[in-house]
Amino acid sequence: MARNYLHSLLGDQEEILLVSRQHWFVLFRMILLELIAILILVVILVIAQPLLPEIPIGYGYFLLILPLISMAREFMIWWNRQIVITNRRVIQLSGIINKNVIDSSLEKVNDVKMVQSFWGRLFRYGNVEILTASEMGANLFKKIGNPIRFKTTMLNAKSRLELEQAGGFVEKLSAIDVSEPTANDIPALIERLGALREKGILTQEEFEKKKAELLEKL
């Protein structure tokens, strides 16, 4: 059901590249109290059974249902808290029944910061912070599993998206001679050309040539 819900969020030609969750250490910490309660209850019942044979101690094992239900709930919360990287965005998804979805476009990702402690490197977990140009500013993902894979997958997806958009823009520029731009469009086109040159998509020679062609049309 969770998988079907995730796929329902995808747009046209959008593909899932990676589904990540918090490390299982986080789940263990969430259910630690329930594990301790189960252990204490079992010890009490085992000790009490021979000491109080006239009392039906076995019924006490039904009390284990309560911490087991709590553990199942904590597991479902952990399992449904996903961080998904697609070829277009980063999706934060949480909630079992009521869903909470936060999107961060790869286009707006400016920087990525990863922090791993000694234990994090040993057990492959860490914090990843995404700095974006959106109103949210920064997204911090704490103790996610395999943060290096998460970071490289996201950066590779961002690079491919930029190349794809740049390719489409260059194709549009090649048709300028056919569809004449207006005088108001030319400064914006030159600015976009400069951005492509800074990213290394266009060479300086290609930039100067296309810029000269645009300026002639003023």
- Residue-wise pLDDT for 39-98, tens only, equals 998 898 888 877 777 777 777 788 889 999 999 999 999 999 999 999 999 999 999 889
Question: Stretch 132-157: mean pLDDT, rounded?
Answer: 85
Q: Which helix (H) or strand (E) holds 23?
A: none
pLDDT averaged over every residue in the chain: 83
What is the pLDDT confidence band of residue 167, given thresholds at 50, 70 and 90?
low
Cα end-to-end distance, the chain, whole Å: 57
Per-residue model confidence (pLDDT) at position 181:
57
Q: Which amino acid is at 12?
A: D
CA distance 13 to 72: 35
Alpha helices in 21-117 (DSSP H): 24-51, 65-80
pTM of the model: 0.71
What is the pLDDT confidence band of residue 178, given thresholds at 50, 70 and 90?
very low
Least confident interval from 27-36, 86-95, 162-171: 162-171
What is the pLDDT confidence band of residue 146, given thresholds at 50, 70 and 90?
very high
CA distance 38 to 44: 10
What is the pLDDT confidence band of residue 29, given thresholds at 50, 70 and 90?
very high
CA distance 28 to 123: 14
Per-residue model confidence (pLDDT) at position 90:
92
Contact 105, 88 (CB under 8 A): yes
